[in-house]
């Protein structure tokens, strides 16, 4: 559970981010002192000040998005009108209904308002309350690291050039002095800065697009399925209910404190529960298409089961749970790969079946409950 703000910091994700910010800032301060000293010229001062401003903004907005958190749907929440509960899914963990646009995050252990994704770097979800902070964090990190990558590349090039010149015995005082350890640390900082520019820059693009369309990463998937379902089914096209035009969409994220994160402003002609009803319909379709299997052997729940060597070689690259099995367990399969299946334990097969824990298990440990004639 990472719903307590300060405990979120004690995790490899936030600690790595702090170490990376520290390393790149250190390397830049160290290099700028020799390459373009801030105390020697106005240009040097402004240049260093710009970098430090981006570094400070990165640190500040990183901590803000982590400490503010995404905003959680209150435990036991239900809509004001009793009859509206039919359009909503129920969360057994939070013991309440899932408000429109909210989703349950297994890692946060709560239903998250307007959930976008769970970010291991801030060790909590990106959602309604911290979306704006998160995007400013991404933006300042990308710009600051771009500046650092350019400066550090020039400096490293100069250092290498100097070493080459010394070896060829030319008489010239090196402008940049580095010991072996500071050189290695600078190279490391340069690598990290380049990595941030590429990876965080790409994420920044996705996030800005998501904000301007007022459509989260999860809602993108729902819409993709909604469109696909209608192409096959030949039903009227589905209208995404939250797109208010890019200006109002952006204002909604910037002024997120003014909104409760439960009732959302809608595009003309759309209803508050349009998307949740579509989600319910998709869930039913998924249940219809899924099949029930029964385990015929036991499985320890290990990621690399020695008992199933082929499955161990093709272990799914996800930290989703694995389901330990005993022979005779019924499972409803929702996803499958060549050597693995993902599904939920069920008590019995039928209309009102009760779903138990979900996870991955080796395909070789189960067989179909009803053998379909080929």
- Closer by beta carbon to Zn ion, 52 or else 206: 206
Distance in Å, CB of 92 to Zn ion, minimum: 8
122: contact with Zn ion by CB under 5 A: no
The one catalytic residue among 91, 108, 119, 155: 119
Candidates 13-21, 104-112, 234-242, 313-321; binding stretch for Zn ion (CB under 5 A): 104-112
94 flagged as catalytic = no
CB atoms under 10 Å from CB of 118, counted, come to 19
Helix ranges, the chain (H):
12-35, 42-68, 131-167, 180-213, 217-233, 246-254, 274-289, 309-313
Count of residues near Zn ion by CB under 5 A: 10
Residue with the two structure tokens 């409760």: 260
Taking CB under 5 A as the criterion, the residue among 105, 113, 135, 253 binding Zn ion is 105
Contact 214, 239 (CB under 8 A): no
Candidates 27-35, 83-91, 142-150, 329-337; binding stretch for Zn ion (CB under 5 A): 83-91
Contact 71, 105 (CB under 8 A): no
Candidates 11-19, 115-123, 129-137, 305-313; binding stretch for Zn ion (CB under 5 A): 115-123
118: contact with Zn ion by CB under 5 A: yes
156: contact with Zn ion by CB under 5 A: no
Taking CB under 5 A as the criterion, the residue among 17, 32, 125, 333 binding Zn ion is 125
Cα 55 from Cα 28, distance rounded (Å)? 10
Q: How far is CA 255 from the centre of its chain?
A: 22
103: contact with Zn ion by CB under 5 A: no
149: contact with Zn ion by CB under 5 A: no
Contact 132, 25 (CB under 8 A): no
108: contact with Zn ion by CB under 5 A: yes
11: contact with Zn ion by CB under 5 A: no
47: contact with Zn ion by CB under 5 A: no
Taking CB under 5 A as the criterion, the residue among 11, 47, 78, 107 binding Zn ion is 107
111: contact with Zn ion by CB under 5 A: yes
Cα 215 from Cα 241, distance rounded (Å)? 10
Residue of 372, 304, 296 lying closest to 339 (CA atoms): 304
Distance in Å, CB of 137 to Zn ion, minimum: 16
Taking CB under 5 A as the criterion, the residue among 11, 47, 78, 104 binding Zn ion is 104
The 3-class SS string of 45-91 reads HHHHHHHHHHHHHHHHHHHHHHHHCCCECCCCCCCCCHHHHHHCCEE
State the residues that interact with Zn ion by CB under 5 A.
91, 93-94, 104-105, 107-108, 111, 118, 125
Would you please indicate which residues are annotated as catalytic (active-site) residues?
119
């Amino acid at each position: 559970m990472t719903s307590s703000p300060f405990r979120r910091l004690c995790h490899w994700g936030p600690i790595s981010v702090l170490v990376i910010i520290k390393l790149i800032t250190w390397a830049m301060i160290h290099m700028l002192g020799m390459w373009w000293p801030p105390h020697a010229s106005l240009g040097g001062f402004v240049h260093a000040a710009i970098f430090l401003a981006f570094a400070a903004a990165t640190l500040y907005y990183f901590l803000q998005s982590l400490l503010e958190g995404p905003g959680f749907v209150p435990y036991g929440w239900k809509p004001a009108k009793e009859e509206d509960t039919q359009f909503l899914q129920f969360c057994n963990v939070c013991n309440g209904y899932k408000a429109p646009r909210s989703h349950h995050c297994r890692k946060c252990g709560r239903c998250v308002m307007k959930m976008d994704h769970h970010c291991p770097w801030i060790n909590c979800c990106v959602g309604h309350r911290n979306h704006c902070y998160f995007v400013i964090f991404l933006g300042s990190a990308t710009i600051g690291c771009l500046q650092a990558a350019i400066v550090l590349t020039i400096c490293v090039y100069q250092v290498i050039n100097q070493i080459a010149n010394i070896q060829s015995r030319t008489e010239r005082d090196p402008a940049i002095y580095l010991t072996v350890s500071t050189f290695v640390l600078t190279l490391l900082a340069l690598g990290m800065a380049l990595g941030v520019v590429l990876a965080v820059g790409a994420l920044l693009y996705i996030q800005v697009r998501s904000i301007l369309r007022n459509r989260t990463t999860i809602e993108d998937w729902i819409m993709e399925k909604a469109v696909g379902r209608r192409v096959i089914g030949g039903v009227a096209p589905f209208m995404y209910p939250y797109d208010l035009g890019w200006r109002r969409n952006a204002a909604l994220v910037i002024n997120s404190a003014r909104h409760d994160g439960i009732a959302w402003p809608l595009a003309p002609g759309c209803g508050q529960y349009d998307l949740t009803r579509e989600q319910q319909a998709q869930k039913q379709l998924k249940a219809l298409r899924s099949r029930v299997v029964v385990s015929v052997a036991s499985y320890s729940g290990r990621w690399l089961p020695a008992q199933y060597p082929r499955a161990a070689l093709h272990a799914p690259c996800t930290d989703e749970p694995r389901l330990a099995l005993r022979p005779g367990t019924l499972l409803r399969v929702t996803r499958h790969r060549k050597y693995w299946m993902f599904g939920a334990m069920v008590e019995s097969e039928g209309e009102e079946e009760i779903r138990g824990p979900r996870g991955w298990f080796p395909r070789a440990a189960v067989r179909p409950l009803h053998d379909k004639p080929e």
